[in-house]
Amino acid sequence: MDEERFQRAIASIDERNRDDPHVIEVRGERRPKELAHSALAAEWVERLVDAPSEALRLAARAHHVRRWAITRASYPAGRAGYHRWRQALQQLHADEAANILATHGYDEATIERVQGLIKKRGLARKDDPEVQALEDALCLVFLETQLAATAEKLDDREKTIDVLRRTAVKMSPAALALAQDLPLSADERALLESALR
């Protein structure tokens, strides 16, 4: 692996995510949302996988690059509209990642692998451990940074528990074990424990 090229690509991804107008506080620091999420996803991948591939590390950092560029409101309400929005976002993230990586001289095979990871190809079949590791990382980021806001938005304990159950089903046993150590509030921990029962 060319470490200098990798760091330049990461810096380019971070530069794009730094423009996120949404700001969140994570671990006592206020940062643009997608910049924070990408760093956390990369951190979780490093904890979940002994020696993550360069493609997996790049995909973790680029998984939501420029996510704010396509708003949920630009698609119809309801499940079908939501799925169309999510597909459009995955394509945006994959295209942005490809452009960044090509600029930094990555070969087509690596670019295609990063795009496949971002699009979570093989997740339903559970036959690609790197796709599972990325999904695990994203679920852990959600639990750490968005659980409280999701619970507040839904304002319904059972609906929140249902969201957590659907999240947990996507996670590996290793990721579920790591979730137990997240710095959650007492209310968040109670919701997660109820979902995992």
Instruction: Convert the pLDDT of each residue in 73-115 to its tens digit.
Output: 999 999 999 999 999 999 999 999 999 999 999 999 999 999 9
Output the pLDDT for position 1.
84
Give start and end residues of each alpha helix (H) in the chain: 3-17, 33-48, 54-62, 79-103, 108-118, 129-154, 157-169, 173-179, 186-196
Q: How far is CA 127 from CA 62, 97, 178, in A?
A: 22, 23, 22
Statement: residue 127 has pLDDT above 90? no
* CATH of span 3-196: 1.10.3210
- CB of 91 closer than 8 Å to CB of 66: no
Output the pLDDT for position 146.
93
Statement: residue 123 has pLDDT above 80? no
pLDDT tens, residue by residue, 35-80: 999 999 999 999 999 999 999 999 999 999 999 999 999 999 999 9
Output the pLDDT for position 126.
78
Output the pLDDT for position 197.
84
Q: Domain locations in the chain?
A: 3-196
